[in-house]
Amino acid sequence: MFTKETYVSRRNRLKKQVGSGLIVLLGNEQSSMNYKDNWYHFRQDSTFLYFFGIDRAGLVAVIDVEANAEVIFGEELTPDDIVWMGPQKSIREQASEIGVGLTKPLATLDSYFQHALAKKREIHFLPPYRPENLLKLSSWLQTAPASIKSMASVPLIKAVVAQRSIKTPEEVAEIEKGINTTVEMQIAAATLARAGMTEAELAGQLQSIAIKGGGNLAFPTILTVNGQILHNHYSPTVLQEGQLVLVDCGAASATHYSGDLTRTFPVSSSFSAKQKEMYAVMMTAYEQAVAMLKPGVKYKDVHLQACTQLAEGLKHLGLMKGDAQEAVAQGAHALFFPCGLGHMLGLDTHDMEDLGEEYVGYAEDQTKSTQFGLKSLRLARALEPGFVLTVEPGLYFNPDLIELWSAEKVHADFINYEQVAGYKDFGGIRIEEDFLITPEGSRVLGNPLPRNMEEFRQFAR
């Protein structure tokens, strides 16, 4: 929780920027696993947290810009609820703590919106990503569910993105709490990993550290000996000597700000020669990318520079050939790096992802590429002080993709498929750190964590 003044001033700026109409921000509800009352851990909506800070299920906030009025709608607990949930703060009390004087029962929302529709008020809302909120909007606005997303308010999206993109020092401090717990998770991974244990066992240990940290996982842990599969989470697969473990994990702080760090380390205490040289190629690209981070630089250029450096390195190893810059322009490097270099980080790990990449990651004069690889770049715009973002180059040897491209001789001018064939079982490596863009350049966030995991592994044993 931040101060009352922080929330009040965020909302005032929002009202000013949106200018008119009703702003409707929906909190999240509990999410059911296998029956209604069996819940996943509660996660409040990030934009709701940003403007209202109340970490409680089932709330809806409405800001009437013209009337300069703010209401939080929700159901207060009944005396019966005491038995099951114990004494809790009332919604009225929680609203008052963040500067909202008026609360009303949820049941009054229907007539509230009927009234607003009758008066032809503008109703601003964000694109819903949870079906229950889609259903609610559909009912209030008397519009089919399928049409709701297209009615989301662009002025509201832009106003929210403008504020949430620039992190205040208080927010950076919260992000660093998330990162510091993530550092502990990474240290535990490197310390506890042993041949014979399963990915799931190690991943469970990391989650326990995230929970101990006061939050929970910010996203499902990727912990795998098959790092070439980008969104492989974890499985009952047993770790074996000689394999690499890729760990991409993040804890959320108690206030739900996210850390996001990746390390790749050998199950054995040392890299093989082949692993070592590949790691070095990745690290050079990483260092070059980090050196470029400063206000005004387009993140797309940082991405392309990292890709070019990866291609140069692969050329040096004999896996690629020809001009590296041209190879990247044509997308040949994407066989080994089919994704983007990084993304905004904040209350969400992919910060504000559902508000639309065209608003969050791209400037108005930038269009997203359709090229394989580059189309997955989430952040392209010029950097500004206060941005927090990740830098996460990697090298992935996906045997299915290699076979596919090899059979069709895709980008054969730039790829030595004969050499690449010898890397089909290499797996995947990635490194990831989180950065704040400062007026002068950038600052890596959180407590230090060794980037050379071989040294670290030997030390830990």
Judged by the rule CB under 8 A, the positions of this chain that interact with its own copies are 28, 31-41, 43-46, 79, 82-87, 129-132, 134-135, 138-139, 145-146, 198, 200-201, 203-205, 207-212, 214, 219-220, 226, 228-232, 236, 254, 256, 338-339, 347-350, 352-354, 398, 400-401, 404
CA dist list (Å): 376 to 270, 320, 345: 33, 22, 16
In the complex with its own copies, which residue's Cβ is closer, 214 or 322? 214
CB of 441 to its own copies, least distance (A): 29
Beta strands in 92-161 (DSSP E): 102-104, 123-125
Whole-angstrom distance, CA of residue 94 vs CA of residue 154 = 29
Q: Closest Cα to residue 106, out of 42, 46, 58?
A: 58
CB of 39 to its own copies, least distance (A): 6
β-pair partners for 32 = 39
Contact 202, 223 (CB under 8 A): yes
CB of 25 to its own copies, least distance (A): 14
CB of 422 to its own copies, least distance (A): 20
CB of 85 to its own copies, least distance (A): 6
In the complex with its own copies, which residue's Cβ is closer, 99 or 340? 340
CB of 195 to its own copies, least distance (A): 16
In the complex with its own copies, which residue's Cβ is closer, 44 or 153? 44
Q: Which long-range contacts (CB under 8 A, 24 or more apart) does 365-373 make?
A: 366/298, 366/300, 371/331, 371/334, 372/331, 372/334, 372/338, 373/307, 373/331, 373/333, 373/334, 373/337, 373/338, 373/339
In the complex with its own copies, which residue's Cβ is closer, 6 or 138? 138
Q: Is residue 147 classed as helix, strand or coil in its secondary structure?
A: helix
β-pair partners for 222 = 248
CB of 331 to its own copies, least distance (A): 13
In the complex with its own copies, which residue's Cβ is closer, 201 or 287? 201
In the complex with its own copies, which residue's Cβ is closer, 161 or 292? 161
In the complex with its own copies, which residue's Cβ is closer, 291 or 421? 421
CB of 44 to its own copies, least distance (A): 8
Whole-angstrom distance, CA of residue 177 vs CA of residue 161 = 23
CB of 421 to its own copies, least distance (A): 18
Q: Is residue 39 classed as helix, strand or coil in its secondary structure?
A: strand
> Which residues, 6 or more positions from 364, have their beta carbon under 8 angstroms from its beta carbon?
none
Place of tokens 């996210």: 258
In the complex with its own copies, which residue's Cβ is closer, 86 or 296? 86
β-pair partners for 217 = 251
Cβ atoms within 10 Å of 407's Cβ, excluding its own? 9
In the complex with its own copies, which residue's Cβ is closer, 131 or 242? 131
Residues in the chain: 461
